[in-house]
Amino acid sequence: MNPNPHASSIDAAAQARTARPCVNRRGLRFWSRAAHLLAAAVVMAVAFSWLANWTVWAELVNSFQFVLFWSLVVSWFSLWLTKAVGSACPATCDATEPVPEGTCARRRSAFRSCILLAVVAVLAAIHGWRVFSVYWPASQPPPGPTSFRVMTFNVMGTNVDDEAIMREVRAASPDILLIWELTYAMAKRLEALRDEFPYGMDRPHYYYTLGFAVYSKHPLSDQRVTWLPERMLSCPIPEMHFEIGGERIRVLGIHASNPIHGYTWEIRNRQLAALAELVQSSPVPTIVMGDFNATPWSPHIHRFLRTAGLRDTRQGQGLHNSWNSMCLWVGLPIDHIFVSPVFHVLRRQLGNPQGSDHVPVICDLSLSVGGQSSH
């Protein structure tokens, strides 16, 4: 007879626990290391993006803030999941085995995992704010009695679907339209738009990235084109004035150089600096729009807006990725409309690409009452 029946039941329970199936620790270690490597790579990419003020490659990484944010989110969940599974699973197949000698090493590894989790969480919060703060309502003056619409559209120099482009323009019906990458052939095909937009200028170019056109429903004054003095890679900046509701408004446009390598990156930065000085040269409320070949997270765009005294019409409206039209959900917002603080942004929207690799950016604006004098 067993003198202690309770001891028998305890032994049976212990045997049942030790009889559980063995967890595949080798597979768990593999996924844990993979999660750590992914998180480390993403953290290094984020740290490299902070050098965007000094190198073109860092600015390229910095441009994909949306991708960086979701990479951080995926990395954090991967780390958390492997850590949670590892904590819930038994360390050995037999619960009666002694504690392994590597317990201290595992504790140090767990501590490093917690630190990495915290770092990734903080970076995800920072980049999440950078990406999604654009949905926060903008602080702006009240709208004036009249409104108007502006539109900028990089039609892509190799695009031959002029009928689709004209349908898009007529559907948007802007008061002022700037078209970029205009070739001589495209300029001739778009002449039909002059029936609805009788004012403006055509400046096609054989090197189509330098070609542009201005279409306006309103008479324009003081039209001129400023060529920034960059040898072989000059940048035309059209400038014009028009009146809405008795208020005089100034419009500037730019198609900045494509920063495909260090040399053109430096040229684009100088173009933005020269454009900021041009904006500051006049007290008239100003709109600057075009293809800047830079995202709103670029430190050079921040410097341009600060120097020129302009603000981004995207604030309170959304991300509005404008390139590449084939995959806009991971695209880049490089086509911009910047305005003086005296403008009220009623609405900002994107159009349809109509054969271009860009989508047009359309913005409804209103100059606040007394905006001319306050500016």
Tell me, yes or no, whether 87 and 187 share the same domain: no
Return the biggest CA–CA distance within the chain: 112
What letter would DSSP give residue 263? H
Is 158 within a domain?
Answer: yes
Tell me, yes or no, whether 223 and 296 share the same domain: yes
d(Cα 23, Cα 275) in Å, to the nearest integer? 64
Q: What is the mean pLDDT of each run of 10 residues along the chain (375 residues)?
A: 52 49 62 85 91 92 92 90 70 46 58 84 92 91 94 94 95 97 93 95 89 96 85 81 93 92 88 94 95 96 96 94 86 96 96 95 90 54
Tell me, yes or no, whether 156 and 129 share the same domain: no
d(Cα 206, Cα 5) in Å, to the nearest integer? 98
The CATH number that applies at residue 217 is 3.60.10.10
Convert the pLDDT of each residue in 40-68 to its tens digit: 899 999 999 999 999 999 999 999 999 99
Q: Are 239 and 220 in contact (CB under 8 A)?
A: no
Provide the pLDDT for residue 326.
83
Neighbours of 8 (CB within 10 A): 10
Q: Which of 135, 158, 176 is the last residue of a domain?
A: 135
Where does 173-324 have alpha helices with state H? 184-189, 262-280, 299-308
Encoding tokens for residue 92?
A: 């050995």
Q: Which of 70, 104, 135 is the last residue of a domain?
A: 135
Provide the pLDDT for residue 93.
44
Is 211 within a domain?
Answer: yes
Q: Is the peptide bond before 324 cis (omega within 30 degrees of 0)?
A: yes
Helix (H, G, I), strand (E, B) or coil at 216: strand
Q: Are 163 and 190 in contact (CB under 8 A)?
A: no
Provide the pLDDT for residue 95.
44
CA dist 131 to 285, 296, 362, 367, Å? 28, 10, 21, 28
Provide the pLDDT for residue 25.
61
Is 142 within a domain?
Answer: no
Is 141 within a domain?
Answer: no
Provide the pLDDT for residue 9.
53
d(Cα 176, Cα 337) in Å, to the nearest integer? 12
Helix (H, G, I), strand (E, B) or coil at 274: helix
pTM to 2 decimal places: 0.86
Is 51 within a domain?
Answer: yes
Tell me, yes or no, whether 367 and 243 share the same domain: yes
Is 140 within a domain?
Answer: no
- Beta-carbon contacts of 276 under 8 Å, excluding residues fewer than 6 positions away, are 303, 304, 307, 308
Half-sphere exposure of 361 (CA within 13 A, CB side): 29
Is 143 within a domain?
Answer: no
Q: Which of 164, 147, 145, 146 is nearest to 155 (CA)?
A: 164
Tell me, yes or no, whether 35 and 80 share the same domain: yes
Handedness of CA 300, 301, 303, 308 (dihedral sign): positive
Neighbours of 268 (CB within 10 A): 26
Tell me, yes or no, whether 97 and 157 share the same domain: no
Question: How many structural domains are present in the chain?
Answer: 2
Provide the pLDDT for residue 186.
92
Provide the pLDDT for residue 229.
65
Tell me, yes or no, whether 164 and 130 share the same domain: no
**Structural domain for 313, as ranges:** 148-374
Residue with tokens 């410097």: 303
d(Cα 66, Cα 245) in Å, to the nearest integer? 40
Tell me, yes or no, whether 208 and 286 share the same domain: yes
Tell me, yes or no, whether 292 and 336 share the same domain: yes
Is 164 within a domain?
Answer: yes
Tell me, yes or no, whether 288 and 207 share the same domain: yes
Phi, psi torsion values for 239, nearest 5 degrees: -135, 140
Q: Which of 75, 106, 135 is the last residue of a domain?
A: 135
CA dist 154 to 108, 157, 274, Å? 55, 8, 22
Helix (H, G, I), strand (E, B) or coil at 281: coil
Tell me, yes or no, whether 129 and 270 share the same domain: no
Convert the pLDDT of each residue in 182-231 to its tens digit: 999 999 999 999 999 999 999 998 888 889 999 999 999 999 998 876 65
Tell me, yes or no, whether 244 and 362 share the same domain: yes
